[in-house]
Amino acid sequence: MTQENHNAKSMFHGFWALTNRDLKKWYKEPILLFMSIIQPVLWMGLFGRAMNIGAIFTNNNVPPEIANQLMIQTFGVGDYFSFMAVGMLSFVIVFTAMFSGMSIVWDRRLGFLNKALSTPVARGAIIMSKVLSAVVRSLIQAGIVIVLAWLLGMQFSSSFTVLHLLGTFAALFLMCLGLASLFIAIAIRSTRWETQMAVVNLLNLPLIFTSNALFPSNFMPDWLQTISRINPITYGTDAARQLLILSTIDTSKLIMDFAFLGGFALVFATAGIILSWKYLSK
């Protein structure tokens, strides 16, 4: 075996070992999975059901056909619940990605990071293993949320197939890859988890509210639309929504969604690796 071949192999070896460490900690504690699922379920069950927007029309004696048409024009589907349930997929991904920065802070504080840095494992592998474990966790959680949303009454589009489901996961994968890289890069030098916690608390709701996760962005004021247009969550949610629940898919918009998400993931994953070369050791 050539030296380079061996290096590449051992790099992957260490990368997978570190990823597996994080995943093991996660699946050995089912309570963690339960806690991360319970929040979107509460949102769907309480917020999704309470915001019974269709009732605005029926209670005001708008004829059912017109009411339904207004709903479809606004949300793309006849019921608000299906609309926001897809938003919850983004919600669960944003939260998982944000907290993945936390675990690198803990590794630093408890000395594990120094220990890993003293081994020949690639510096990029240390960072990307955190990203990959966040991606795996959030995609599994998103899968569970889709099933729960369906049980709670989300309507899939009539043309829905397994291919659409795979497409949805591809979009969510790219979104999570970018977001997790971003938040881990923020945490890369931090020794205080309080700081990281503050960042998460400050950003989580604004990120959701400035996207189309809960409300369509074309009804937002102009300045908010501008923010929404650079918010990756908008694109991830739109792709998922088109593929899962909308009866007609706007192909050019879908390509735009994937292009934006691909670029976003590429830029931040690369930035994460470069930062880890430079800043992981002081």
Q: Which residues are at the interface with other proteins (CB under 8 A)?
A: 6, 9-11, 13-14, 16-18, 21, 24-25, 28-29, 109-112, 114-121, 281-282
CA distance 264 to 255: 14
Smallest separation (angstroms) from other proteins to the CB of 33: 14
Smallest separation (angstroms) from other proteins to the CB of 10: 3
Smallest separation (angstroms) from other proteins to the CB of 23: 11
The residue type at 142: A
Smallest separation (angstroms) from other proteins to the CB of 97: 21
Smallest separation (angstroms) from other proteins to the CB of 142: 24
Q: Classify residue 183 as exposed, middle or buried by CB count within 10 Å of its CB (0-12, 13-18, 19+).
A: buried
Smallest separation (angstroms) from other proteins to the CB of 57: 52
Q: Which of 62, 56, 71, 86 lies closest to 155, judged by CA?
A: 86
Inter-helix orientation angle 251-279/162-187, to 10°: 30
Closer to other proteins at the Cβ: 5 or 248? 5
The residue type at 256: M
Token pair of 172 as six digits? 């969510």
Number of Cβ within 10 Å of residue 141's Cβ equals 19
CA distance 11 to 164: 34
Closer to other proteins at the Cβ: 12 or 219? 12
Closer to other proteins at the Cβ: 125 or 254? 125
Phi, psi of 213, rounded to the nearest 5 degrees: -65, -40
CA distances from 53 to 57, 74, 161 (A): 8, 11, 28
Q: Which residue has the tokens 């729960």?
A: 148
CA distance 53 to 94: 25
Q: What is the DSSP letter of 48?
A: I
CA distance 214 to 85: 9
Closer to other proteins at the Cβ: 10 or 68? 10
Closer to other proteins at the Cβ: 128 or 243? 128
Closer to other proteins at the Cβ: 243 or 273? 273
Smallest separation (angstroms) from other proteins to the CB of 264: 30
Smallest separation (angstroms) from other proteins to the CB of 14: 5
Closer to other proteins at the Cβ: 116 or 145? 116
Number of Cβ within 10 Å of residue 11's Cβ equals 15
CA distance 206 to 220: 14
Closer to other proteins at the Cβ: 71 or 131? 131
